[in-house]
Chain A
Amino acid sequence: MGLDLSQFDRFKVTFQKGDQIFCEYEPGDAFYLIQEGRVQIVKIIGEIEKMIDILHPGEIFGEMAILEEAPRSASAIALDKVEVLEFNKKNFEILMRGNPQIAMKLLMTFIKRIYDQKRRFMILTLQDPQARVADVFLMLSETQTILQQNETKITDDVVIDATLEDISHWCGLSVAECRQVMAYFTAQRKIETLNNKFLVKNLNDLQRLVNSRRKKD
């Protein structure tokens, strides 16, 4: 990320591949900036271990622990040999003074996480299963095309990298329910199912469906 972090070498911690960095529900008092390797974020939901995210060098995780020592909301596991900088309340001030770029990065991380959660919340407030699944596709298309500024090409086919399990995770419906909705969308020629991908024929269509079902009262 082009930042000089050598002054923070004393905060460096190494984890071997497969090591647990922290565990869901464990009290958290540190957050991490990845320098090398990938970190997997997982959560046990119901009886299933769910992969939430894979984080790469330059990314921050465990950031909720900076200001309050609340329990971790997910587990972090080293996917490779991972080098991180570990910060806690004590050395956080040093970090802020010594490297405002990281502070800015942290701010951006929060902004993104808040936005993602809000977006997720919007999906979950929809009562109609079809609208929920449709909104998941809209969300995924937003994140996958976030860099494109204008929406002029919105009627084109959009390829979404996701599995049925992912869709189920995002919309809070069971895989079986999602499969049913997807069968309907396929029959309607709104969405085609490819190998671990979905082809959305017309995003506007889905958008209209979601808009019509969103609470207005």
Chain B
Amino acid sequence: MPQAIKYKAKSIIYFEGDVSDKVFILQSGKVSLISTDIDTGMQNRELVKTGEFFGVKSSLGKFPREETADVLVDSVVLVFGVLEFEKLIYANPRITLQMLKVFSNQLRRIHRQVENLLATEEQVNPEKGLFGIGEYYFKAQKFKPALYALRRYLTYYPAGVHQARATEYLVSIEKCPPGKTPAVSPAHFAKGFEGGSSASADAAAYFNGVTLFSAEKYEEAISSFKQYVSANPEAEYAVKALSEIGKAFYSLKKYDECIKHFSTMIQKYSKHAEVGEFLLYLGMSCNAKGDKAKAEGFFNKVIQIAEEGSETKRKAKKELKELGGR
């Protein structure tokens, strides 16, 4: 059982540097926490509010007290041992949640202070940062993390400042057959498209399609992809372009066309690695049209065939869960 202990004004509950496993709640009175600022060496004072915990981090983390608890007026304090404190936490998720909020703020703050001291340049905004990660991995020829970061970039910032370059990098990785290294220099890559031969003009059509798609210009994206497919019907990338067309239909909420498109694709490319994704879009379209039973069938099929842990499978599971309303 926690003990209620009375402290006289001007007494000290604990000193900075003490080691102890006690956690406190201020029940009544006034207690101030005096800590030394790491950066300036100045003393900070912070009042504990009634009902607030103190001494939590050092007792649970088993490190020395980071502040001195100074009693300003006669006060009553509840004292918990670590085990008692754990019991309290187990019984009161709300307290834990509040404490997590406080800690999360503290962590952010100290994190920022560290970053500021380390930073050689000013803070990067997240958009620039995410693109920078993609670009870093692209240039370092680590294409898997590059793909991830660039795709994320285009998902979050479809009309972002670096959208064109992100798309360019992405296409140059995706276009590359497995086992070969894509052209890393963007300049070199761009030259390939401007070459004037019909092959590179078609590649440009694909490239345009991806750009337009991520800019949410779906109609124009569809015509770009169609242009690419009609010029290269047998190319490995034709399937990818076709699948993009289907996705664009979905984004346009043209569900019937999306269903028709992917159904045809599944017949033609039943052995294709991305067949799960085609089925996913079929399911999503059916769902959007209100045909939940059919949608469920498709999602189950995706879960059956898609690779364990793949993005497609995760999405299908999520869709199915939402269908069930759980």
Contact = CB atoms under 8 A, between A and B. Distances in A.
Interface in B119-158: 120, 124, 126-127, 129-130, 132-133, 136, 140, 144-145, 148-149, 152, 156
B40 interface: yes
Interface residues of A, number: 56
Interface stretch (B109-117, B168-176, B243-251, B280-288): B109-117
B37 to A, nearest CB: 10
A46 interface: yes
Contacts of B100: 66-67, 103, 106-107, 110
Interface string B222-263: 000000000000000000000000000000000000000000
Contact of A121 (B56, B66, B114, B309): B114
B148 A121 contact: no
Contacts of B132: 25, 44
A111 B106 CA distance: 10
Given A13-B309, A23-B133, A67-B100, A115 B90 contact: no
Interface stretch (A93-101, A158-166, A183-191, A199-207): A93-101
A104 B95 CA distance: 11
Interface of A is mostly: mixed
Contacts of B120: 46
A96 B133 CA distance: 34
Interface of B is mostly: helix
B104 A117 contact: no
B187 to A, nearest CB: 20
B104 A67 contact: yes
Interface string B9-47: 000000000000000000000000000001111000000
A100 B40 contact: no
Contacts of B39: 121, 125
B107 interface: yes
A5 interface: no
Contact of B89 (A45, A73, A107): A107
A117 B156 CA distance: 29
A134 interface: no
How many interface residues does chain B have, given as a range? 35 or more
B179 interface: no
A117 B111 contact: yes
Contacts of A97: 93
A73 B100 CA distance: 18
A78 B11 CA distance: 52
B130 A26 contact: yes
Contacts of A71: 126, 129-130
Contacts of B60: 107-108, 111
Nearest to A113: B107
Given A64-B107, A104-B90, A14 B117 contact: no
Interface of B: 38-41, 56-57, 60-61, 63, 66, 86, 89-91, 93, 96-97, 99-101, 103-104, 106-108, 110-111, 113-114, 117-118, 120, 124, 126-127, 129-130, 132-133, 136, 140, 144-145, 148-149, 152, 156, 308-309, 314, 321
16 contacts: A16-B309, A24-B130, A27-B126, A27-B156, A68-B104, A71-B126, A96-B97, A97-B93, A100-B90, A111-B61, A114-B110, A115-B57, A117-B110, A121-B39, A124-B117, A172-B118
